[in-house]
Chain A
């Protein structure tokens, strides 16, 4: 895509010019920075030229950030998408994942070092994605050997029988479904079977699965996670996006139609992750300042250590 000496493009979308001015100055040495206050222009820019990374504000008059990012995902799927918002809007958090499939959810006021690290990480991934896409285009995609006969399994981690019914109905024929009531069981199933999609509730009784979901994404980068939950906790959901790279949030009790769609997207995406390893980088998780494995049993911790997940 880019000449070796050309800087990657960073697109900033915010209706407050002082924000784009400030961020532009922060990134202008490393990036070719473009700015706009308007979502339509942003999508048009991403359509007409390679944009490695886009950072969009959420609350804007003409088009909301989630819609901007969804539009950019459609015209330029390899562009890494980050949402930057100053307002705790739960719908925006859920929409940014389910529709915008974002890489990071950033909050105003941001930490300068953190945003630098996130944008650099995003740009690295974008470079890989764009290069792989160009290669595939060039080689005209020689379809490799037919897909392996065994179809990826689906693992439900939740005690709720209603959730099991929902997942069972949404699971396509041929994909095995495993039901783990506890984290220990989930670990055993994960090491015994080829699992592609994890469906988990964030809270199971008193136990929180947040740490486990984050650790699992680290140890199994090709695992696609759907969080099925009643929980409406803004901070927790943001944490799950940035550190767990959750693929979809689905409200509980789930609607079977949308859930089946989510399940299909998750399975499709798992296939992409398997066949195009560079895509996995798109879901690199952010480091957590909280101990990931606190409160897990020794057995479970041993399991994660084998995969090199610690702290």
Chain B
């Protein structure tokens, strides 16, 4: 039995069932059980049969002559025969629930504790039970608050690891993008160096021949030997045609270096560490940056069409918006499972909002997935391909900017995502951002048709 039940127990001696009303009145007068509102009545076997409260006794005695009339009658005629009885063998929670559901208002009585065998053990006060309930509630609240904090912490941790995973994927892709030009640039430079070494030898040989030719004192045999040496070199090495090739090598090398610096520049733009978190941003630049960084997902497979209407600058954290855009581009690229991939990216203004629309002709999203698409951890990708956090983070970012993200999709036709961001800065009033309740059903209801017509471009 639980110790918290023992703490509630007050082992007040009970009243025998034949005790007269007079004797009971005297017992109440004697006191010694001030905390109790009532006394229990037990039979010969110490089984509880009822309860008599101070309140009930007072009411009896308030009637004139009642003591004279009933004083000698046994208490069993006056007691409450249906008291609340709980066993010390019960669990604390079942005792609490028995007492709180059965107790009558106003509280004029206590409840009876029995031992495991049903015999009388003592009384318990309803007030004590209520105190215990409050205590337990406090404990539970505390535990809940702690759990809530832990969930928040692990959520932040997960968001961070999703960021790291996305970053890792991006770095691997970008490394590939850089390694290819680096491969031929390095090779070309090495070959150019070797070729220049040979050319240097050849020029030196020509030079000394030239000097000998101008020198009247030179021996004819020396000159002949030099001519022989040059002829041998020319046999092995065709300077004129190799120099022409070198030209081509340098064209490629310059191209490769330009490509590398473009990639590095867009990485720098992507991170935007050197800019304020909230800035007036030209979103078209962000789209271009995300396209460069996400290029390895798209190249060779997907034709990108841009239809950019001029849009005003928008106050936002550019690195966060880049994350959202890259996420949308990556999803679109992954949804395209054929080699006639098309990606249409549009910008336009609608009322007080600037909109970016990203539309693919990929596999589309089945209706049963659409309503859950912004939920954290909801993913249909294979393990390792996605954590299921990408879109939920994108959703949060856009909502925190006071914007909206919506989609239209049709299986087998494609998917269109639309981000809208307010042109005016957010006021201090916090935007309602409860992702769990309003994340579902965010569909651009009328856009399936748009999607279909646009798919015929």
Q: Per-residue 0/1 for A11-53: is the Cβ within 8 Å of any B Cβ (1 yes, 0 no)?
A: 0000110110111011000000000000000000000000000
CB within 8 Å of A: which B249-284 residues: 249, 252, 255-256
**Contact with B183, one of A60, A61, A86, A88 (Cβ below 8 angstroms):** A86
A306 within 8 A of B: no
* The 7 residue pairs across chains A and B that have the minimum distance between CB atoms: A86-B179, A61-B300, A108-B183, A87-B176, A22-B184, A109-B182, A112-B190
A-B contact pairs, 19 of them (CB 8 A): A18-B184, A18-B255, A19-B183, A21-B248, A22-B187, A22-B188, A23-B184, A26-B191, A61-B299, A61-B301, A84-B183, A86-B179, A88-B172, A108-B179, A108-B182, A109-B179, A109-B187, A110-B187, A112-B186
A59 within 8 A of B: yes
B-side binding surface: helix, strand, loop or mixed?
helix
Q: Nearest residue in A to B193 (C-beta to C-beta)?
A: A112
Q: Per-residue 0/1 for B231-256: is the Cβ within 8 Å of any A Cβ (1 yes, 0 no)?
A: 00000000000000100110010011
Alpha-carbon distance A16/B188, docked complex (angstroms): 14
Q: Per-residue 0/1 for B106-118: is the Cβ within 8 Å of any A Cβ (1 yes, 0 no)?
A: 0000000000000
CB within 8 Å of B: which A44-92 residues: 59-61, 84, 86-88
- Once A21-B248, A22-B252, A26-B191 are accepted as A-B contacts, the answer to whether A86 and B184 lie under 8 Å apart by CB is no
- Once A16-B180, A18-B181, A61-B301 are accepted as A-B contacts, the answer to whether A87 and B186 lie under 8 Å apart by CB is no
Interface size range of chain B in the complex:
20 to 34
CB within 8 Å of B: which A91-113 residues: 107-110, 112
List of B residues within 8 angstroms of A110 by Cβ: 183, 186-187
Q: Nearest residue in A to B178 (C-beta to C-beta)?
A: A86
Q: Is the beta-carbon distance between A112 and B183 smaller than 8 angstroms?
A: no
Q: Is the beta-carbon distance between A21 and B175 smaller than 8 angstroms?
A: no
Contacts A22-B187, A61-B339, A109-B179 known; list 7 others, CB within 8 Å.
Answer: A21-B248, A22-B188, A22-B191, A25-B188, A26-B187, A108-B179, A112-B191
List of B residues within 8 angstroms of A22 by Cβ: 183-184, 187-188, 191, 249, 252
List of A residues within 8 angstroms of B245 by Cβ: 25
CB distance from B129 to the nearest CB of A (A): 57
Q: Is the beta-carbon distance between B172 and A87 smaller than 8 angstroms?
A: yes
Alpha-carbon distance A251/B186, docked complex (angstroms): 36
Q: Is the beta-carbon distance between A19 and B172 smaller than 8 angstroms?
A: no
CB distance from B196 to the nearest CB of A (A): 14
List of A residues within 8 angstroms of B299 by Cβ: 61
Q: Per-residue 0/1 for B151-195: is the Cβ within 8 Å of any A Cβ (1 yes, 0 no)?
A: 000000000000000000000110110111111111110110000
Q: Which of B184, B185, B249, B256 is packed against the most chain A CB atoms within 10 Å?
A: B184
List of B residues within 8 angstroms of A19 by Cβ: 180, 183-184
List of B residues within 8 angstroms of A87 by Cβ: 172-173, 175-176, 179
Alpha-carbon distance A108/B179, docked complex (angstroms): 5
List of A residues within 8 angstroms of B180 by Cβ: 16, 19, 86, 108
Q: Nearest residue in A to B192 (C-beta to C-beta)?
A: A25
List of B residues within 8 angstroms of A16 by Cβ: 180, 184
Alpha-carbon distance A88/B252, docked complex (angstroms): 25
Q: Is the beta-carbon distance between A18 and B186 smaller than 8 angstroms?
A: no
Q: Nearest residue in B to A111 (C-beta to C-beta)?
A: B186
CB distance from A117 to the nearest CB of B (A): 14
List of A residues within 8 angstroms of B186 by Cβ: 109-110, 112
Q: Is the beta-carbon distance between A21 and B179 smaller than 8 angstroms?
A: no
Alpha-carbon distance A273/B69, docked complex (angstroms): 121
Alpha-carbon distance A60/B180, docked complex (angstroms): 12
CB distance from A184 to the nearest CB of B (A): 38
Q: Is the beta-carbon distance between B187 and A112 smaller than 8 angstroms?
A: yes
Alpha-carbon distance A247/B180, docked complex (angstroms): 28
Q: Nearest residue in A to B245 (C-beta to C-beta)?
A: A25
Alpha-carbon distance A25/B188, docked complex (angstroms): 9
List of A residues within 8 angstroms of B301 by Cβ: 61
- Once A18-B255, A87-B175 are accepted as A-B contacts, the answer to whether A109 and B183 lie under 8 Å apart by CB is yes
List of B residues within 8 angstroms of A108 by Cβ: 179-180, 182-183
Q: Nearest residue in A to B179 (C-beta to C-beta)?
A: A86
List of A residues within 8 angstroms of B188 by Cβ: 22, 25
- Once A61-B300, A61-B301, A109-B182 are accepted as A-B contacts, the answer to whether A23 and B176 lie under 8 Å apart by CB is no
CB distance from B302 to the nearest CB of A (A): 11
List of A residues within 8 angstroms of B178 by Cβ: 86
Alpha-carbon distance A60/B182, docked complex (angstroms): 17
Alpha-carbon distance A22/B253, docked complex (angstroms): 10
Q: Is the beta-carbon distance between B179 and A25 smaller than 8 angstroms?
A: no
- Once A15-B300, A16-B180, A18-B255 are accepted as A-B contacts, the answer to whether A23 and B187 lie under 8 Å apart by CB is yes
List of A residues within 8 angstroms of B175 by Cβ: 86-88
Alpha-carbon distance A23/B183, docked complex (angstroms): 10
Q: Nearest residue in B to A58 (C-beta to C-beta)?
A: B176
CB distance from B342 to the nearest CB of A (A): 16
CB distance from B356 to the nearest CB of A (A): 28
CB distance from A166 to the nearest CB of B (A): 24
Alpha-carbon distance A88/B179, docked complex (angstroms): 11
Q: Per-residue 0/1 for B271-313: is the Cβ within 8 Å of any A Cβ (1 yes, 0 no)?
A: 0000000000000000000000000000111000000000000
